[in-house]
Structure 1
Amino acid sequence: MSSDFKNRVKEQFGKAADGYVRDLGFAQGADLAEAAKLLQPTPDDIMLDVACGGGHTALYFAPLVRNVVASDLTMLMLKKAQEYISEEGNVDNITFREADAEDLPFPSGSFTILTCRIAPHHFSDVPRALREFHRVLRRQGGRMIIIDTLLPEDPEIAEFCQTMEKMRDPTHVRAYSRNEWIAMIENAGFKVMATKVFHKTHDFSSWAKRAGLHREGIRNLSQYFINSSSKVHDYFQIETFAGEIESYTDKKILIYATRLDKK
């Protein structure tokens, strides 16, 4: 990840930090319950939450493990997450660490669990990040959950997805299909144990504003949605009222994988 791009990410999420922390769509979700079901955390587990954002995943798992390190590239986001957890969570086993997902500042084998939720589409080098995830997980018992936006298989719908994400947030790099995720994760030395897809409905206005879009940007993005094909409207279940976009629904993929000892 270039320093220029990292600085853009820090600036973007520094400005948007409070909105992400307070967003109930991140604080809740069936994906968190499914992640816990698959990971089966115990009081002996040491967990790393990469690109922790508002701290919601770290807070969810904290009562279930020995301790959690919540890491993020953006210091202001970490500060907002720490404030949120201090206010909302009755936990004392979360520490916060500024960290680049592609160059983690932790010794090899430091963690038994690693999570990364709704963040990899901002990584410029996902394979490199996955190799780092493999490195910091223990050889025995190391397990990982990744949750992120799922890229549609249909080329037309995939192009719409990539374009609208970049229109909303220029630090979006790309989403990946299920097959792409499996290939990257296995190449990094993991065994994919399970995948699951979740639907997530977004209130269009709050979704656009959370990324820092102003009136003209929101208007252009709304028009891009409205002008899209019927195939795109159907896939994303785009809802309109009086010529305005009210909501759309995309898909998130959850991948559960365990660490293999690379020879």
Structure 2
Amino acid sequence: MDSKFKNQVREQFGKTAAAYVEATHFSGGKDLEEAARLLKPTHDDNLLDVACAGGHMALFFAPLVRQVVASDLTMQMLKKAQEHIAEEGRVDNVIFREADAEDLPFPAGSFTLLTCRIAPHHFPDVPRALREFHRVLRRGGRMAIIDTLMPADPEIADFFQTMEKMRNPTHIRAYSEQEWRQMVEDAELILQETIIISKTHDFQEWVKTAGLNRARVQELNKYFMDAPPKVHDFFQIESFAGEVESYTDQKLLIYATRKEKEKK
């Protein structure tokens, strides 16, 4: 990861760390439930949560496993996640590590489970990150990645890419399901299942997590309102008196495993 961009990511997420902890659209959802159903966590499992942000994924899985290592590139985000989990007072098996998803500071085969939620679209080199995920997973280990799905229609995809960068300049790109399938296969992980899940976002909360000032919020609101009808239909944009209230996008859950050790 380019050091200049890495510092930009730290700055962006450091200033909005508290908003990520408070955001209701991260604290729960069908994606968490489906990830748990597929991963089938047990108290023998050691889980790595990559790019943990406000710690919601780590907190969700902590009661279900032996230990969670919550990692993130941004130290301020880690501090807020640690405060959030401590305040919940329900778990004591989460530890925190500063870590770059593309260069994880853990020995090979350290974890039986790995999660990464709503983060890869900020990674400059997703294939490299997936190779790292493969490396730190034990043989037979299970992995669940959740990220925003790139729309198939080129015009809608262009709108999506533009609005994401308007909101957060560290957004790089989302990927199609086929691109994810190929990247997972190239990383020598075994794709087991994919699930598409709709997610509705409260517009004001969504812009708050990006730390936008009033002028940029108004610019983004106008971009949504001026979008073609098919964009409004695809994202189910809800508005009142010229103000966007919510929109709905699609998340892709990728469940994959590392190959079991071959029996002699």
1: CA distance, partners of 2:208 / 2:107 = 38
Alignment of 1:176-215 (within 5 A): 176-215=175-214
SS at match of 2:43: coil
Task: Give 1:244's aligned amino acid.
Answer: E
Partner of 1:230: 229
Asked if 1:38 corresponds to 2:33, the answer is no
Task: Give 1:12's aligned amino acid.
Answer: Q
2: CA distance, partners of 1:36 / 1:231 = 34
Deviation at 1:170, TM superposition (A): 0.1
2: CA distance, partners of 1:246 / 1:63 = 35
Deviation at 1:260, TM superposition (A): 2.6
Partner of 1:74: 74
Q: 1:58 to 1:198 in 2, by over 3 A?
A: same
Alignment of 1:89-108 (within 5 A): 89-108=89-108
SS at match of 1:41: coil
The CA deviation string for residues 125-148 of structure 1, in whole angstroms up to 9 with x for no partner, is: 000000000000011x21100000
Partner of 1:27: 27
Partner of 1:122: 122
SS at match of 2:163: helix
Task: Give 1:22's aligned amino acid.
Answer: E
Task: Give 1:88's aligned amino acid.
Answer: E
1: CA distance, partners of 2:117 / 2:89 = 19
Q: Is residue 51–residue 116 contact of structure 1 (8 Å, CA) maintained in 2?
A: yes
Runs of 4+ in 1 over 4 A off after TM superposition: none
Q: Is residue 23–residue 205 contact of structure 2 (8 Å, CA) maintained in 1?
A: no
Deviation at 1:261, TM superposition (A): 6.6
Deviation at 1:206, TM superposition (A): 1.7
Q: Is residue 101–residue 132 contact of structure 1 (8 Å, CA) maintained in 2?
A: yes
Moved more, 109-118 or 22-31: 22-31
Length, aligned pairs only: 262
Question: What is the percent sequence identity of the aligned residues?
Answer: 69
Q: Is residue 189–residue 261 contact of structure 1 (8 Å, CA) maintained in 2?
A: no
Q: Is residue 147–residue 255 contact of structure 1 (8 Å, CA) maintained in 2?
A: yes
Partner of 2:220: 221
Asked if 1:259 corresponds to 2:263, the answer is no
Task: Give 2:58's aligned amino acid.
Answer: A
SS at match of 2:84: helix
Deviation at 1:169, TM superposition (A): 0.2
2: CA distance, partners of 1:65 / 1:210 = 29
2: CA distance, partners of 1:62 / 1:98 = 18
Task: Give 2:28's aligned amino acid.
Answer: Q
Q: Is residue 59–residue 89 contact of structure 1 (8 Å, CA) maintained in 2?
A: no
TM-score if structure 1 supplies the norm length? 0.98
2: CA distance, partners of 1:231 / 1:191 = 36
- The two structures, once aligned, show a CA RMSD in angstroms of 1.2
